[in-house]
């Protein structure tokens, strides 16, 4: 029904005062609901009833991941995560796709270091069909040979050809391999022979022995009554839970010395710059303040890097920072692209901004912006079904609770400039090891870097992608 | 109050059934209002979070640029953040960020959009900022800002173009459209024109297009409709009505006769794009072309995807889709492969298209395509920001925000015969243009292809 209302036009709008920005009422952190914890068969289920969302979100998280090799190659591990959702004993790959497309199901598999899983979005009216498909993937995946071959072929194509022409991929790979040793899951060098040799039978074996026996958690978010959901989950997923301890994240020691790498990309008029340094771990008391520091240096449009290098100098389209952490490793990464003629001075400016923040800490307006932005992110974390389940998944990965995470958000209220000075001074100090990667044309940037006193190790694109430097 | 007209799309059961988008609307449903100065305002309450999404859409894009102005619409996507009469330089972002808000913008061939999300307590700040740049931007467009943002835009262009396949799309449009047609030039503009922008011309462009009557303001989120409408009117209502914009020029030439072009790029794989001129937005054949895209390339089990990827391993990437603008449209098929001759890829693609005529899509194929179309439309609309964008789209193209039911009705009405007919009408061999993207020094482009010079 459409109602049409007509109102007479009146003369003028109310006058407003434009002499100063209007007063803002800062957001306050919402109280998000904790998940209901149920046991269904042998499975633990976290359930969150969320009204008004269109699709149910069902995630099956198995606490075994890329590092649980059990005699297999990393390539086998990766392929399992990629191909787990391809087909089942009762549905071919064609039939799986047809079921997904006809009934608005989205199923995907994934692999982390210590976890892996299957995710599904399903309209409530298609729940039975969706759970049957999910159950088939969990209990009887088939890893079709054609799909395995395609995975190998495309993976090799990327490592041996496509990535070599992408400056951002080259920079990312070189940085990763310079930062993480080969025996850390993030630093495992690609084994092209193993990738080529991945076989369906090996994936089936690994899945049956390593994955199917993993301790698990099922997370469900959606607009459905638990009483309706429970028997369906019991039928489809009631037996996926197995006893056992969760795989722990591997230990990691950051590089102990700074390093300068450059990847030659002849003829490229642009250069890609990355810098990485250590940062507080997820459970480090400095983490909340570090997030504020990250916001100030490169986490918002007017952060210091972007203000300087884009808004003031116009050298780049965008400069950014990223603070990434988990239980056992954490780092800051800074990045941007510039024309080759600005490479050396950009490196200098980037370092100068980081050093300045380390020496002086953040300003009060930067702290306020970080606080209000992060409270807003928190408040909108349950805006969508996909956002909600990501929130609860993360609690599981972090072994945290809604209350603890909210406390972290509330703690932003108490961050002071002195706190940021202390944390930035500790973690971003110029003396801390920093790994720099510059991807660009050696002929165009070599002399610049030398003139600036930067002694870089030149590596080839192939070595950057394969980590053989 | 200077509200001229209000239309409420009430969230009654019948409305729910008619338009799933209104399912989440608050007690006031979705309402449309017109301020006395011509600004269209769409409001939709959603109280699930504390967030409000604001989207303001201007009817100006590359379409509206004359020679010497190419890139000017996009340039404003930058200048609109640099300050206005009552908002100092960089204060737009500084104040909004301090309040916990985030914003961005995009420019297309036909429109420019500015969007933000903010906590509800920053409502007046957001309205102040966006109204000030509509009403009083030019006080902030100084020579210094212009110089700086010209550099940033040129760097944006350079960064994009230096990524693998970063020039494909712009090259395709350049190839398809006559130089007198504004769609011939990339939305981001030419280097020479961007370098040449001067204050008087830039001011003139703004005055010609940034008018309340050429904009739609959408707000979705945590507010009460009446109070938000009053606030909108307070901040935007005092902007003078500059009158209607001039009608868009109709260019003499549109689409160039079918031909073949190529571009060398820093890539390892070859790609071929086949493009046929088709129909603009809103054309009666647009729904059939949309569904043809799904029948050809809707994933495993669809015709082109199976022939080139899933069954035959001819391509590492491929697809088919229509692209429609206000005044033109194309239907595009593309395929990428490391070593295969592009003629082979093109030949397979053309054969698959010809098969649509000899073997019309089955009821099952059509049913799947329709379901995919609807799901792809609905899935992203869960976020406040996407919904605001969608409501603006509907208002611009359908003249009302609740266009989903109508779009679905048109999709449901498409038959297999329609797909055959649009294939026969538009996707004929003599109308087909091709663009080859080849590695530097590679000679594997389509036969007779000329190098494409990007403007």
The number of folded domains in chain B is 2
- What's the pLDDT tens digit per position in A229-263? 999 999 999 988 787 888 888 899 999 999 999 99
Q: Residues, chain B, total? A: 455
pLDDT at residue A240, rounded to an integer: 86
* pLDDT for position B144: 92
For range A385-403, the mean pLDDT = 95
Chain-chain contact of A101 with B149 (C-beta, under 8 angstroms)? no
The domain containing residue B373 runs over which residues? 260-451
**Contacting residues of A for B151, CB less than 8 Å apart:** 314-315
Q: DSSP letters of B234-261? A: HHHTTS----PPPPPPPPS--BPPS-EE
Structure tokens at A467: 């980590």
Task: State which of B191, B221, B236 marks the end of a domain.
Answer: B236
In terms of domains, do B326 and B182 share one?
Answer: no
Between CA A220 and CA A35 the distance in angstroms is 9
Q: List the pLDDT tens digit at each of the 455 positions of chain B.
A: 455 555 555 433 333 334 444 444 444 588 999 999 999 999 999 998 999 999 999 999 999 999 899 999 999 999 999 999 999 999 999 999 999 999 999 999 999 999 999 999 999 999 999 999 999 999 999 999 999 999 999 999 999 999 999 999 999 999 999 988 889 999 999 999 999 999 999 999 999 999 999 999 999 999 999 999 999 999 999 999 998 898 887 776 678 889 999 999 999 999 999 999 999 999 999 999 999 999 999 999 999 999 999 999 999 999 999 999 999 999 999 999 998 899 999 999 999 999 999 999 999 999 999 999 999 988 888 899 999 999 999 999 999 998 888 899 999 999 999 999 999 999 999 999 999 999 999 999 999 999 999 99
Say whether the ipTM exceeds 0.85. Answer: yes
- B247 within some domain: no
pTM for the full model? 0.93
Q: Taking CA atoms, what residue in A is nearest to B235? A: A16
Q: What share of chain A in percent tops pLDDT 90? A: 86
Q: CB-based contact (8 Å) between B319 and chain A?
A: no
Indicate whether B250 belongs to any domain: no
Write the CB contacts of B379 (distance below 8 Å, at least 6 apart in sequence).
Answer: none
- Domain-embedded: residue B255: no
**Quick one: B419 and B298 in the same domain?**
yes
Does residue B352 sit in the same domain as residue B397? Answer: yes
Tell me whether residue B245 is in a domain.
no
The better pLDDT of the pair A416, B25 is held by A416
Q: Please provide residue B138's backbone torsions phi and psi, each rounded to the nearest 5 degrees.
A: -65, -20
Query: Which residue bears the tokens 């116009």?
Result: A314
Same-domain check for residues B327 and B286: yes
- Taking only residues 237 to 296 of chain B, the set having a beta carbon closer than 8 angstroms to any beta carbon of chain A reads 237-238, 266-269
Partners of B117 on chain A (C-beta within 8 Å) are: 376, 380
Is A167's CB within 8 Å of B49's CB?
no
Computed from CA positions of residues B196, B199, B202, B204, in that sequence, does the dihedral angle turn out positive or negative?
negative
**Ordered domains of chain A (ranges, CATH):** 36-237 (3.30.830.10), 259-466 (3.30.830.10)
Query: What average pLDDT score do residues A117-140 get?
Result: 96
- Give the chain A residue whose CA is nearest to the CA of B16: A1
Q: Are B39 and B217 in contact (CB under 8 A)?
A: yes
Residue B252 lies in a domain: no
Which residue in the set B48, B98, B149 is minimally distant from A383, CB to CB? B48
pLDDT per residue as tens digits for the range A64-80: 888 888 788 889 999 99
Structure confidence by residue, pLDDT tens digits, A167-202: 999 999 999 999 999 999 899 999 999 999 999 999
| Residue B95 near chain A (CB below 8 Å) | yes
Q: Closest partner residue to A383 among B122, B310, B383, by Cβ?
A: B383
Contact A1 B14 (CB under 8 A): yes
Q: Which residue of chain A comes nearest to B166, CA vs CA?
A: A166
Q: How far is CA B117 from the centre of its chain?
A: 20
Q: Helix (H, G, I), strand (E, B), or coil: what is residue B271? A: strand
Query: CB distance from A413 to chain B under 8 Å?
Result: no
Write out residues 34-93 of A within 8 Å (CB-CB) of B: 52-54, 93
Do B392 and B433 fall within a single domain?
Answer: yes
CB contact under 8 A, B118 and A376: yes
Instruction: Give the CATH number of the domain where residue B306 resides.
Output: 3.30.830.10
Are B28 and B119 members of one domain?
A: yes
**Residue numbers in B near A14 (CB within 8 A):** 1, 230, 233-234, 237
Please indicate, yes or no, whether residues B266 and B230 belong to a single structural domain of this protein. Answer: no
Instruction: Give chain A's mean pLDDT.
Output: 93
Determine the Cα–Cα distance for residues B106 and A460; give it in Å rounded to an integer: 37
A386: nearest Cα among A15, A108, A56: A56
CA distance A12 to chain B (A): 6
**Is A7 close to B6, i.e. CB distance below 8 A?**
yes
Answer yes or no: do B46 and B188 share one domain.
Answer: yes
Q: Say what the pLDDT of residue A451 is.
A: 94
**Does residue B285 sit in the same domain as residue B212?**
no
| pLDDT for residue B7 | 55
What does each C-alpha distance from B421 to A162, B281, B283, B321 come to in angstroms?
39, 18, 14, 17
Provide the shortest C-alpha distance from residue B274 to chain A (in Å). 22
Q: Could B51 and A21 be called an inter-chain contact, meaning their C-beta atoms sit closer than 8 Å? A: no
Q: What is the mean predicted confidence (pLDDT) over A385-394?
A: 96
- Would residue B248 count as lying in a domain? no
B187 and B286 assigned to the same domain = no
The answer to whether residue B244 is domain-embedded is no
The beta-strand segments (E) located in B49-167 are 51-58, 102-107, 112-119
- The answer, for A468 touching chain B at a CB cutoff of 8 Å, is no
Residues of A in contact with B267 (CB under 8 A): 162, 165
Cα–Cα distance for residue pair B61/A443, rounded to 1 Å? 40
């Amino acid at each position: 029904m459409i109602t049409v209302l007509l109102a007479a036009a009146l003369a003028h709008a109310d006058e407003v005062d434009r002499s100063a920005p209007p007063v803002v009422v800062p957001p306050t952190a919402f109280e998000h609901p904790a998940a209901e914890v149920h046991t269904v068969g042998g499975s633990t289920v976290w359930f969150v009833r969320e009204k008004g969302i269109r699709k149910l979100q069902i995630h099956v998280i198995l606490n075994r991941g890329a590092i649980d090799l059990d005699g297999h190659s990393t390539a086998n591990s990766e392929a399992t995560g990629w191909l787990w959702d391809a087909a089942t004993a009762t549905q071919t790959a064609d039939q799986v796709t047809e079921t997904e497309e006809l009934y608005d199901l989205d199923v995907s598999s994934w692999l982390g270091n210590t976890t892996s899983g299957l995710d599904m979005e399903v309209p409530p009216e298609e729940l039975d069909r969706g759970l049957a498909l999910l159950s088939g993937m969990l209990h009887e995946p088939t890893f079709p040979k054609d799909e395995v071959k395609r995975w190998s072929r495309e993976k090799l194509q990327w490592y041996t050809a496509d990535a070599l022409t992408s400056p951002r991929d080259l920079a990312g790979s070189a940085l990763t391999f310079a930062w993480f040793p080969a025996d850390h899951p993030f630093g495992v060098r690609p084994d092209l022979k193993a990738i080529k040799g991945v076989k369906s039978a090996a994936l089936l074996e690994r899945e049956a022995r390593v994955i199917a026996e993993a301790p698990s958690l099922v997370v469900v978010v959606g607009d459905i009554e638990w009483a309706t959901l429970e028997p369906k989950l019991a039928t489809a997923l009631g037996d996926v839970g197995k006893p056992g301890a969760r795989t722990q994240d591997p230990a990691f020691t950051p590089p102990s010395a700074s390093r300068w790498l450059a990847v030659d990309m002849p003829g490229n008029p642009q250069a890609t710059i990355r810098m990485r340094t250590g940062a507080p771990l997820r459970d480090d008391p400095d983490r909340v303040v570090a997030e504020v520091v990250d916001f100030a240096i490169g986490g918002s449009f007017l952060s210091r890097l972007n203000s300087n290098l884009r808004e003031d100098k116009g050298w780049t389209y965008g400069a950014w920072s990223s603070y990434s952490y988990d239980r056992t490793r954490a780092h800051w990464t800074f990045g941007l692209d510039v024309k080759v003629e600005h490479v050396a001075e950009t490196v200098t400016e980037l370092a100068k901004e980081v050093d300045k923040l380390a020496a002086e800490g953040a300003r009060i307006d930067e702290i306020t912006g970080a606080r209000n932005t992060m409270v807003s992110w928190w408040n909108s974390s349950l805006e969508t079904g996909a956002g909600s389940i990501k929130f609860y998944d993360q609690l599981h990965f972090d072994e945290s609770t809604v209350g603890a995470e909210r406390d972290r958000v509330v703690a932003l209220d108490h961050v002071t400039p002195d706190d940021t000075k202390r944390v930035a001074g500790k973690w971003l100090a110029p003396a801390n090891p920093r790994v720099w990667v510059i991807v660009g044309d050696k002929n165009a940037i070599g002399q610049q870097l030398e003139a600036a006193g930067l002694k870089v190790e030149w590596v080839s694109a192939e070595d950057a992608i394969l980590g053989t430097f | 109050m200077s509200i001229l007209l209000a239309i409420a799309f009430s969230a009654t059961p019948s409305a729910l059934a008619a338009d799933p988008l209104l399912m989440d609307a608050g007690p006031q449903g979705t309402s449309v209002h017109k301020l006395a100065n011509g600004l269209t305002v769409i409001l939709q309450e959603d109280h699930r979070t504390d967030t409000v999404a604001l989207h303001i859409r201007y009817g100006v894009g590359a379409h509206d640029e004359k020679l010497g102005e190419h890139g000017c619409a996009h340039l404003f996507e930058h200048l609109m953040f640099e300050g206005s009469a009552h908002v100092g330089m960089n204060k737009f972002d500084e104040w909004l960020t301090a309040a916990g808000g985030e914003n961005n913008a995009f420019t297309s061939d036909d429109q420019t959009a500015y969007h933000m999300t903010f906590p509800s307590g920053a409502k007046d700040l957001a309205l102040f900022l966006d109204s000030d740049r509509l009403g009083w931007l030019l006080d902030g467009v100084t020579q210094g800002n212009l110089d700086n943002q010209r550099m940033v835009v040129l760097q944006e262009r350079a960064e994009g173009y230096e990524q693998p396949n970063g020039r494909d799309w712009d090259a395709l449009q350049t190839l398809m459209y006559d130089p007198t047609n504004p769609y011939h030039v990339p939305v981001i503009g030419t280097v020479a024109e961007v370098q040449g922008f001067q204050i008087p011309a830039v001011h003139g462009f703004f005055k010609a297009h940034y008018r309340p009557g050429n904009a739609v303001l959408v707000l979705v989120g945590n507010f009460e409709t009446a109070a938000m409408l009053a606030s909108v009117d307070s901040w935007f209502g005092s902007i003078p009505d500059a009158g209607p914009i001039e009608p868009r020029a109709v260019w003499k030439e549109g689409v160039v006769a079918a031909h073949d072009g190529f571009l060398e790029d820093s890539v390892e794989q070859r790609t071929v794009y086949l493009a046929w001129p088709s129909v603009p937005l809103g054309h009666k054949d647009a729904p059939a072309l949309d569904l043809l895209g799904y029948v050809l390339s809707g994933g495993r089990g669809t015709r082109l995807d199976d022939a080139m990827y899933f069954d035959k391993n001819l391509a590492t990437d491929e697809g088919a889709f229509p692209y429609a603008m206000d005044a033109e449209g194309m239907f595009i098929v593309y395929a990428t492969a490391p070593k295969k001759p592009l003629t082979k890829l093109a030949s397979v693609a053309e054969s698959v298209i010809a098969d649509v005529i000899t073997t019309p899509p089955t009821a099952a194929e059509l049913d799947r395509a329709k379901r995919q179309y609807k799901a792809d439309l609905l899935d992203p609309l869960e976020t406040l920001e996407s919904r605001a964008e969608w409501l603006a789209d509907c208002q611009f193209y359908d003249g009302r925000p609740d266009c989903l039911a109508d779009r679905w009705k048109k999709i449901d009405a498409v038959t297999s015969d329609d797909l055959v007919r649009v294939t026969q009408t538009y996707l004929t061999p003599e109308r087909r243009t091709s663009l080859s993207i080849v590695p530097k020094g590679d000679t594997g482009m389509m036969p007779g292809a000329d190098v494409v010079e990007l403007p």
